[in-house]
Amino acid sequence: MNTLSSRQIHLWRIAIYFIFALPGFAIASWVSRTPTIRDALGASTAQMGWIIFGLSVGSIIGLLGASHLIAHKGGRFVMVAGLAICSVGLLVVGLGGSWLTNGIAVFLGLAVFGFGNGMCDVAMNVEGTAVERAAKKSLLTGFHAAFSVGTLLGAMAGSAVTKVGIPVHVHMALAAVVVVLSTLYLYRLVPAGTGKESGSDSSEPPMSVKERMAVWKEPRTVLIGIIVLGMAFAEGSANDWLPLIVVDGYKVTPEMGSFAFGIFVGAMTICRAAGGFLLDRFGRVAVLRGSALFAIAGLLIVILGQSYTVAFVGIVLWGFGSALGFPVGLSAAGDDPRGVAARVGAVSTVGYLAFLVGPPLLGVIGESVGLLRALIVVLIAVTVAGLLSQAAKPLGGQAAHAKDRAKSLDVH
């Protein structure tokens, strides 16, 4: 183990903020060009659905394999490798969607992109929990706010290059260059070996593959996973359906639907930026319970509201309530340094399953009962998450946690 100086911890923290922003920037770069790519391919909605499925497949594979790779190589190596693979995926997507106009190439590019993104997601969250321990502050919600900022910047850049007519393959190449150059600069500020398990730097033997897989059976990890599942479902459902929910449910224009989604994202970003202060002041359990209550109130107002103005208030509360569940759950999963990659990887995978599977499920239900009524399923999931919030209590209790945070901690 190496003890880091306060300056090294500060630089590490700054680097992780920027690294969290890079996947958001990359994802938004792709999403911003989906209409152009669809038109170039001449793909139907169903065909685009299958093409985008490549992203889901790659993401799940990357998420499932990341914890094992981190245990052997460390978080920094996996972050750098993941971002490099993301960049390759962007290049392939650009070539397939603009130059070759080949749907299979775009599918493969998205699978590669998703694989790298899944790897990087677990690794950067492992790094985030390690920075929290080293800095003795709640930081993971702020890191996730940086992801949101990166997404916003990527969307703005995508809108700008689309407006001036820059081809998709040129745009994707430029985005890949930004990601690669930023990674090459930032990785030097991140200590090597975070999350790496070896017998030489621990009083306990490293976890075997069997032990890492066994974390999926740990009661605390399972309960945290359910919390993240419910809160990620609330976030993912809004990301995919909120504009349509507002347009169809309240009979407003598409522009107003887009504005409502922007307000939701803005509310989430603000809450995540304040998340560290809230966690340090009130603790995880209270924050999770408060988040669930805000989300429940917001969803009820949206479901039962009689006007767009009333629903607008609900959307803000929904955004506040959805903001902290995912990062707080990941922070709780990383309490024990031994096996941190396996537990964070397991909870991340559950969260991404909620993002990837939940919204399509909502669409199927909404087809029968309408999207507003379909939100009752989200309401139930968030309620369950709120009821289980006690599971995220720091290991050893709140008093022991406060005592631990007063000490200097060694970081891999």
Task: Tell me if residue 2 falls in helix, strand or coil.
Answer: strand
- Residue 182 has what pLDDT? 97
- Total count of residues recorded for the chain: 412
pLDDT digits (tens, 9 = 90+) for 387-397: 999 999 987 64
Q: With 90 as the cut, is the pLDDT of residue 194 above it?
A: no
65 occurs within a structural domain? yes
Average confidence (pLDDT) over 188-216: 73
Q: How far is residue 2's CA from residue 21's CA, in Å, rounded to a whole number? A: 27
What is the rounded end-to-end Cα distance, in angstroms, of the chain? 5
181 occurs within a structural domain? yes
189 with 226, same domain: the answer is: no
- Residue 112 has what pLDDT? 97
Q: How far is residue 328's CA from residue 285's CA, in Å, rounded to a whole number? A: 9
Q: How far is residue 366's CA from residue 379's CA, in Å, rounded to a whole number? A: 14
308 occurs within a structural domain? yes
- Residue 400 has what pLDDT? 39
Q: How far is residue 401's CA from residue 404's CA, in Å, rounded to a whole number? A: 5
Domain range for residue 345? Answer: 212-405
When mean pLDDT is compared across 109-123, 169-183, 233-247, the lowest value belongs to 233-247
Q: Which residue has the tokens 């909120």?
A: 242
162 with 256, same domain: the answer is: no
Assign 222 a pLDDT band (cuts: 50, 70, 90).
very high
Q: With 60 as the cut, is the pLDDT of residue 401 above it?
A: no
- Residue 200 has what pLDDT? 41
70 with 185, same domain: the answer is: yes
- Residue 403 has what pLDDT? 38
Average confidence (pLDDT) over 164-189: 95
pLDDT digits (tens, 9 = 90+) for 299-311: 999 999 888 889 9
CB contact at 8 A, 344 and 129:
yes
Task: Quote the number of domains for the chain.
Answer: 2
- Residue 99 has what pLDDT? 84
53 with 186, same domain: the answer is: yes
287 occurs within a structural domain? yes
Q: How far is residue 359's CA from residue 355's CA, in Å, rounded to a whole number? A: 7
317 occurs within a structural domain? yes
- Residue 402 has what pLDDT? 38
The last residue of a domain, from among 148, 169, 195: 195
pLDDT digits (tens, 9 = 90+) for 118-162: 999 989 988 998 898 888 888 888 898 898 889 888 888 888 888
Strand partners, 2: 411
CA distance readout (Å), 331 to 21, 142, 265, 337: 18, 12, 22, 11
253 with 399, same domain: the answer is: yes
The last residue of a domain, from among 195, 228, 259: 195
161 occurs within a structural domain? yes
Residue type, 169: H
pLDDT digits (tens, 9 = 90+) for 342-362: 888 888 888 878 877 776 778
412 occurs within a structural domain? no
132 with 267, same domain: the answer is: no
The last residue of a domain, from among 167, 195, 223: 195
When mean pLDDT is compared across 19-33, 288-302, 388-402, the lowest value belongs to 388-402
The distance of Cα 187 from the centroid of its chain, to the nearest Å, equals 20
411 occurs within a structural domain? no
CB contact at 8 A, 33 and 171:
yes
Q: How far is residue 62's CA from residue 352's CA, in Å, rounded to a whole number? A: 11
Give the whole-number percent of the chain exceeding pLDDT 90: 43
Kindly state the greatest CA–CA separation across the chain. 64
pLDDT digits (tens, 9 = 90+) for 76-91: 999 999 999 999 999 9
222 with 78, same domain: the answer is: no
User: Across all residues in the chain, what is the average pLDDT?
Assistant: 86
Q: How far is residue 299's CA from residue 120's CA, in Å, rounded to a whole number? A: 32
Assign 93 a pLDDT band (cuts: 50, 70, 90).
very high
Average confidence (pLDDT) over 3-7: 86
Task: Output 51 or 201, whichever has higher pLDDT.
Answer: 51
> 215: burial class by Cβ within 10 Å (0-12, 13-18, 19+)?
buried
The CATH number of residue 80's host domain is: 1.20.1250.20
Both tokens assigned to 122: 């677990």
Compute the half-sphere exposure of residue 328: CA atoms within 13 Å on the CB side of its CA.
39
Task: Tell me if residue 238 falls in helix, strand or coil.
Answer: helix
CB contact at 8 A, 242 and 311:
no
Report residue 411: phi and psi, to 5°.
Answer: -125, 140
Q: CA geometry: angle at 192 spanning 332 and 16, to 5°?
A: 55
Q: How far is residue 256's CA from residue 219's CA, in Å, rounded to a whole number? A: 44
Both tokens assigned to 148: 């949101």
Average confidence (pLDDT) over 370-389: 93
181 with 217, same domain: the answer is: no
Task: Output 317 or 45, whichever has higher pLDDT.
Answer: 317
87 with 224, same domain: the answer is: no
CB contact at 8 A, 162 and 34:
no
- Residue 404 has what pLDDT? 39
155 with 220, same domain: the answer is: no
Task: Output 259 or 180, whichever has higher pLDDT.
Answer: 180
- Residue 370 has what pLDDT? 83
CB contact at 8 A, 237 and 359:
yes
Task: Output 405 or 18, whichever has higher pLDDT.
Answer: 18
223 with 360, same domain: the answer is: yes
pLDDT digits (tens, 9 = 90+) for 227-249: 999 999 998 888 777 877 888 88
Q: With 80 as the cut, is the pLDDT of residue 174 above it?
A: yes
334 with 391, same domain: the answer is: yes
